[in-house]
Amino acid sequence: MQQQYQFNYQLFQHIQELAESDALLLEKARINTKLAYAPYSQFQVSAAALLSNGEIVFGTNQENASYPVGICAERSLLASASVLFPQAHVVTMAISYQSLKGNSNKPISPCGMCRQAIIEHQTRYGHTMRLILSGQTGQIFVIENAAALLPLAFISKEI
């Protein structure tokens, strides 16, 4: 029997269309791309997250000459958040990028490894996470439940 998977997301044309709190979070992610360490890819990624306790935390990609040693912005943010505020979960994460080799005007989506890390965070805290995905300009995607990006995810119940 064939099955189908699909999900819904909101599409915004400009940051001004977002709720004020979402626009603020996305703007912080956009600004913080300059803090990324990306000398090899020239692809600077930043994530900003609103936590359930009202705090905002950040993460950027940190590359390494030994490519597997680098870490993505989303996972650096999740690690920082869980250490700094272990009782708080991520409510909303905004992700943006700056490509030093080309355009930065389309929404970016977390890589597979980050999607798995986000699912683990949701499972750990028992709360869904909203995602705001964007470049420096252009369209913005808002996904109400990050789990939609990783159907058939590997979760702790399966271990």
CB 91 within 8 A of CB 52: yes
CB 155 within 8 A of CB 116: no
Residue 62 CB: number of other CB atoms within 10 A?
17
DSSP-H helix ranges across 20-134: 20-32, 73-84, 112-125
Catalytic residue numbers, as ranges = 74
